[in-house]
């Protein structure tokens, strides 16, 4: 007899069913992209208003990205505790509230505080959205769906660029740029209230009645033939060393320990890929308007460069959506990430030739958006359900921390001392190292069930004396843990 999880993963795709969740989750992702891109557009305007140097301007992105790092840790763990649905709505509401307050900030210090707090809310969107969308997606199309989810990112960055460019001559005020995104975010929060809880999550939490209700509704809504299924017993809840149920930040720390205990190799691959690839992308996204402005481009022209990069990236995501199931996650990441960084080096070398520089920006925008959707799909599939949101959330948060402090280092140290070509070349070498480690340390996930490897009787993660029970996550398929039970892969 099939399990409820298998029923969900074998359902036909319907735009009126799973497609609604894809769109609603994607819109939250759009706001994440908009908010991060906004940092780059705000930096030259805030620098002018508050008389800030390059290093001080970098704090705009640092405050926001570090807040997102905290949010990714906390909300990833919370989503694994309270459910995808509740976390799904709360993250966007927190972001909207503190974005309004940020637009009303009386001085630079208060502005940075509110940017940090808005980041805490929005930082939870990506891990929660990916966990929810992946758990509703049919196995046959999951790779393409998760990759297509990243299409919302360049759309969000492009919309941000267009709005910022339009507002320069009309208002020229950074407060209006922040205010334009609040009302749509609040509307999306209201729409998210109607999203059902993930049935995969419900089964793992032992909420069988609720899980069956959602699964039966999905079967009926997609027109699939009903068939009997079972709900396996739920694994025990993780507890802290003192025996109490972990929650909030405590849960995040506990999940950190479980992730590395599950598989050091898989977790190290996820973290290294996120840190290096996102470091290159955020460096380009955050500093592109300032780089172009320093080269003599006007406000409108410098904003147009970032908008071009993201607009071309839409085509990159569409290509990645097709390629991810043709060549596989690992090959796509392994090729596109280093080549994208090389394109950025080329852009820096021809920066004084405006046409060539714009071509370099466009090539980078296309290639990096081949990489990032495949990366997100890949990491979300490396972990079992009990660790999926936390695994993605921790990888995302580590990258946000590193990229959060990168703007300060970029503006005060790397760019002035090394120059742009050498700075981007150094980042490219780091990306290449992460890709090589992925090739040898982590498996391909193309076509694999979300929890494809089952724990054999007596196997699994052992519990140290006095630490309570832990999730019965399947052993990692990378050879770093208990040997997996053979399974059939599609």
Structural domains present in the chain: 2-211+258-441 (1.20.1250.20)
Q: Mean pLDDT check: name the lowest of 17-26, 300-309, 399-408.
A: 399-408
| Residue tagged 């704090």 (tokens) | 59
| Residue tagged 């298998």 (tokens) | 6
Q: CA-CA distance, 269 to 130, in Å (whole number)? A: 18
- Per DSSP, 114 falls in state H
Q: CA-CA distance, 70 to 394, in Å (whole number)? A: 9
pLDDT single digits (tens) 45-69: 888 888 887 778 878 888 888 888 7
- Residue with the bigger pLDDT between 246 and 74: it is 74
**pLDDT value for 204:** 82
Q: Is 313 left (phi over 0), alpha (psi -120 to 50) or beta?
A: alpha
Q: CA-CA distance, 483 to 372, in Å (whole number)? A: 31
Per-residue pLDDT band at 11 (split at 50, 70, 90)? very high
Nearest to 292 by CA among 282, 303, 283: 303
**pLDDT value for 471:** 40
Per-residue pLDDT band at 315 (split at 50, 70, 90)? very high
Q: Are 302 and 161 a contacting pair, CB within 8 Å?
A: no
* Residue 246 pLDDT exceeds 80: no
Per-residue pLDDT band at 144 (split at 50, 70, 90)? confident
Q: CA-CA distance, 37 to 57, in Å (whole number)? A: 14
* Residue 483 pLDDT exceeds 50: no
Q: Mean pLDDT check: name the lowest of 17-26, 61-70, 223-232.
A: 61-70
Q: Mean pLDDT check: name the lowest of 111-115, 171-175, 195-199, 208-212.
A: 171-175
* Residue 245 three-state SS: strand
Per-residue pLDDT band at 112 (split at 50, 70, 90)? very high
Report the range out of 105-114, 145-154, 412-421 with the highest average pLDDT: 105-114
Question: The pTM is what?
Answer: 0.72
List the end-to-end C-alpha distance of the chain, in Å, as a whole number.
18
Per-residue pLDDT band at 18 (split at 50, 70, 90)? very high
Which secondary structure element, helix H or strand E, spans residue 229, and what is its range?
strand 229-230
- Residue with the bigger pLDDT between 356 and 282: it is 356
Burial 49-61 (b: 16+ CB within 10 A, else e): eeebebebbbbbb
Torsion (CA) 190, 205, 395, 260 in degrees, nearest 10: 170
Residues 6+ apart with CB under 8 A from 447: 139, 143, 325, 489, 490
Helix axes 388-409, 248-262, angle to 10 degrees: 100
**pLDDT value for 452:** 55
* Residue 29 pLDDT exceeds 60: yes
**pLDDT value for 416:** 76
Helix axes 142-149, 18-50, angle to 10 degrees: 20
Residues 6+ apart with CB under 8 A from 222: 11, 12, 13, 14, 17, 18
Q: CA-CA distance, 69 to 53, in Å (whole number)? A: 25
* Residue 270 pLDDT exceeds 90: yes
Per-residue pLDDT band at 208 (split at 50, 70, 90)? very high
pLDDT single digits (tens) 181-205: 787 778 777 877 778 888 888 888 8
pLDDT over 90 percentage in the chain: 27
């Amino acid at each position: 007899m099939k399990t409820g999880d298998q029923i969900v993963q074998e359902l036909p795709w319907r735009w009126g069913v799973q497609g609604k969740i894809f769109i609603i989750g994607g819109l939250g992702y759009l706001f994440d992209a908009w908010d991060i891109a906004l940092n780059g557009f705000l930096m030259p305007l805030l620098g002018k208003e508050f008389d800030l140097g390059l290093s001080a301007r970098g704090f705009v992105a640092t405050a926001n990205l570090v807040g997102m790092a905290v949010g990714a840790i906390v909300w990833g763990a919370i989503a694994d505790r309270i459910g995808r649905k509740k976390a799904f709505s709360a993250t966007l509401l927190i972001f909207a509230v503190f974005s309004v307050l940020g637009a009303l900030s009386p001085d630079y210090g208060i502005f940075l505080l509110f940017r940090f707090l808005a980041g805490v809310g929005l930082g939870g969107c990506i891990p929660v959205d990916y966990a929810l969308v992946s758990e509703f997606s049919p196995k046959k199309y999951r790779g393409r769906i998760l990759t297509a989810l990243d299409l919302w990112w360049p759309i969000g960055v492009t919309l941000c660029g267009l709005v910022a460019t339009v507002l320069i001559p009309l208002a020229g005020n950074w407060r209006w740029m922040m205010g334009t995104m609040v009302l749509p975010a609040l509307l999306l929060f209201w729409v998210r209230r109607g999203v059902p809880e993930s049935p995969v999550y419900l089964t793992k939490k032992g909420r069988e009645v609720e899980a069956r209700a959602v699964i039966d509704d999905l079967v009926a809504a997609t027109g699939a033939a009903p068939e009997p299924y079972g709900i396996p017993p739920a694994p025990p809840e993780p507890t802290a060393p003192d025996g109490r149920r972990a929650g909030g930040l405590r849960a995040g720390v506990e999940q950190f320990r479980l992730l590395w205990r599950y598989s050091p190799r898989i977790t190290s691959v996820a973290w290294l890929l996120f840190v290096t690839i996102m470091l290159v992308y955020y460096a380009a996204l955050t500093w592109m308007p300032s780089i172009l402005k320093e080269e003599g481009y006007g406000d409108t022209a410098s904003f147009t460069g970032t908008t071009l990069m993201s607009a071309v990236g839409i085509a990159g995501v569409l290509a990645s959506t097709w390629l991810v199931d043709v060549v596989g996650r690992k090959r796509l990441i392994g090729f596109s990430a280093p080549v994208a960084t090389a394109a950025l080096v080329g852009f820096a070398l021809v920066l004084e030739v405006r046409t060539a520089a714009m071509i370099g920006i466009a090539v980078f925008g296309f290639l990096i958006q081949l990489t990032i959707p495949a990366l997100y799909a890949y990491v979300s599939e490396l972990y079992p359900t009990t660790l999926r949101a936390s695994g993605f959330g921790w990888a995302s948060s580590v990258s946000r921390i590193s990229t959060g402090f990168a703007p300060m280092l970029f503006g005060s140290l790397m760019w002035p001392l090394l120059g742009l070509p050498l700075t981007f070349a150094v980042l490219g070498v780091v990306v290449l190292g992460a890709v090589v480690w992925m090739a040898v340390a982590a498996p391909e996930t193309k076509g694999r069930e979300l929890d494809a490897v089952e724990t054999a009787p007596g196997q699994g993660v052992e519990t140290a004396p006095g630490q309570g029970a832990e999730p019965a996550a399947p052993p990692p398929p990378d050879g770093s843990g208990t040997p997996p039970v053979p399974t059939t892969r599609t």
